[in-house]
Amino acid sequence: MTELIVALDAPTSWDNRRLLEKLVDQTPVRFFKLGVAALMSDRTHLLIDEITNRYRIRSLDQCARLMLDLKVYDTRDTVARVVHRAFEIGAHMVTVHATPSVMGAAMAAKVRATDVVLAVPHLTDQHLGRWSASFSVGALEACDGIVCPASIAAHHRSSTCMQEKLLVVPGIRPQGSDADNHRTAATPGEAIRAGATHVVVGRPIWQSPDPVAATLAILEEMS
């Protein structure tokens, strides 16, 4: 069954912490994403600790999990250090650039057998007419899964080497909502039909006047 990952992309770490508290207390969501911008906010380390430790105790039925959307792209040594540290602090998923050298270093840097490395071959604000030119088949074969728009998710899902891998789809917008800057936005249903194992939703939740109601509506749309 496809799982919802909520992107904690609110303007401040305090906003994100309040959102986290509400969603854990009032919804079944237990998977959260932090991107580079959120990591630059003050006291984000406390937010990471709350996701990976505090709610591990409070949510006995399912531990809260963290996706660090770092899109790491650097030398092999630096990639290995960054990814290893991300898993050390409790991340369940980490994203890296979809090139074989980066992917190899990231996969070797796992801390636990359950750690997940995701390749990012293309972004949701890009024109994807020539998406295949920027994608490395070698990285796809080596990774645990990929992050990609719903518009090409079905193509990746049909690939032989993707049959058992995770497919994480961002740029999700509920029925009738604004696509914002995403050229390839999709509804939860469209992403699920394309083969997504996880969908990532940020602005439709944290910008909502009632984030709990917005989250529950998205979960209903996914069911």
Q: How confident is the model at residue 131 (pLDDT cuts 50, 70, 90)?
A: very low
What is the residue extent of each domain of the chain? 3-222
Map 169-209 to HEC letters: ECCECCCCCCCCCCCCCECHHHHHHCCCCEEEECHHHHCCC
The answer to whether residue 210 scores a pLDDT higher than 50 is yes
Which CATH code fits 3-222?
3.20.20.70
If DSSP codes are grouped into helix, strand and coil, which group holds residue 54?
Answer: helix
- What's the mean pLDDT in 132-158? 77
How large a percentage of the chain has pLDDT more than 70? 84
Residue 180 has pLDDT above 70, yes or no: no
**Cβ neighbours, 10 Å, residue 159:** 13
Average pLDDT over residues 76-102: 95
Residue 176 pLDDT > 50, yes or no? yes
Predicted TM-score (pTM) of the model is 0.90
Q: What are phi and psi of 166, to 5 degrees?
A: -80, 145
pLDDT at residue 6 greater than cutoff 70: yes
pLDDT higher than 70, residue 86: yes
pLDDT at 198: 97
State the pLDDT confidence band at 152, using cuts at 50, 70 and 90.
Answer: confident
- Provide mean pLDDT across the span 67-74: 96
What are the pLDDT digits (tens) for 189-200?
999 999 999 999
The residue that leads in pLDDT, 140 or 127, is 140
Q: Where are the beta strands (DSSP E) in the chain?
A: 3-7, 31-35, 65-72, 93-97, 116-120, 145-147, 166-169, 198-201
Read off the pLDDT band of 57 (50, 70, 90). Answer: low
Greater model confidence, 120 or 140: 120
Q: Which residues are catalytic?
A: 71
Average pLDDT over residues 161-179: 82
Kindly indicate the confidence band of residue 151, based on its pLDDT and cuts at 50, 70 and 90. Answer: confident
Task: Name the DSSP letter for residue 134.
Answer: G
